[in-house]
Amino acid sequence: MQNTQSTEAYGKERASRYDQFASVTMGDRKRQRSYLQDLLHRQPLAHGAFLDLGCGTGFFSEVLFEHRPDFNGHLVDGSADMLELARQRVQKDGRRVSFQHALFDAIDWPALPVFDVVFSGYAIHHLSDAAKWTLFGRIHASLGPGGAFILFDNFLPRQPDDRDLIEFLTCREIERKTRHVTPLEQIIETDRKLKAAENDQEASFEEHLQQLRAVGFGHVVPVFLEARYGGIVACK
């Protein structure tokens, strides 16, 4: 059973501030949405269904629905408060969307439809490595032929010195975005506290590429990597 530490961290108060917080701390969110739009544009869609794993407030699910408003969207998150914000954002007349409040390891995969796209944004790094790779296998099995797993997440190199460098670059960008009001040391301290509270367990970008190939994805393509944040598309 996955532990709930990473979802308990997203209670009502945090959920209500999440989009604002993410716009400052989680890289260039506007550009990340553009990457998702562009990837969807290139993606053959045959089954009419997508899945957003760890949808949060629906920031990226919205892009999926903008691309294909006629599709069935299944949104999963372990935080009821985040999921409620996603509901408010994406549920509109005529849309076919289902919301599931669950941890990833409690998903009943055989009950789900075949997906064209499985997307996950900044959620899977909360899992242990073993749980990540198991989930990758389930995602692969849930996709139709030609389907795509689009993964945006936090990545960290293996070596401690290299991790320090990535932490520095990530926090430096936050310092810049907040116009140097808070000293860098304090930003780093807050960042470490948050990551510990959310039970972050990042693996390296390279390990992700390897494991995606190992579960059977034929084309595994790095899309972007900026300090801690990166994107990969894996096609079946």
Ligand X SMILES: C[S@@+](CC[C@H](N)C(=O)[O-])C[C@H]1O[C@@H](n2cnc3c(N)ncnc32)[C@H](O)[C@@H]1O
For residue 141, what are its two tokens?
A: 């099995």
Taking Cα atoms as reference points, which of 124, 175, 116 lies closest to residue 142?
Answer: 116
Which one of 123, 143, 156, 174 is in contact with ligand X (CB under 6 A)? 123
Which one of 39, 40, 49, 55 is in contact with ligand X (CB under 6 A)? 55
Question: Whole-angstrom Cα distance, residue 50 to residue 65?
Answer: 9
- What residue is closest to ligand X based on CB? 56
**Toward ligand X, which CB reaches closer, 101 or 172?**
101
Taking Cα atoms as reference points, which of 84, 40, 44, 83 lies closest to residue 65?
Answer: 40
**Which residues between 178 and 207 bind ligand X (CB under 6 A)?**
none
Mask of contacts with ligand X, 97-116, x by CB under 6 A? ------xx------------
82: contact with ligand X by CB under 6 A? yes
153: contact with ligand X by CB under 6 A? no
Which one of 50, 71, 122, 229 is in contact with ligand X (CB under 6 A)? 122
- H/E stretch holding 145 reads strand 143-154
Question: Whole-angstrom Cα distance, residue 153 to residue 20?
Answer: 18
Question: What's at 188, amino acid-wise?
Answer: I
* Residues across the chain: 236
Question: What's at 37, amino acid-wise?
Answer: Q
DSSP code of residue 146: E
**Cβ count within 10 A of residue 47:** 17
The nearest distance, CB 18 to ligand X, in angstroms, is: 7
60: contact with ligand X by CB under 6 A? yes
Q: Which stretch binds ligand X (CB under 6 A): 120-128, 138-146, 177-185, 210-218?
A: 120-128
Q: By the criterion CB under 6 A, which residues form the site for ligand X?
A: 2, 6-7, 10, 22, 54-57, 59-60, 77-79, 82, 103-104, 121-123, 126-127
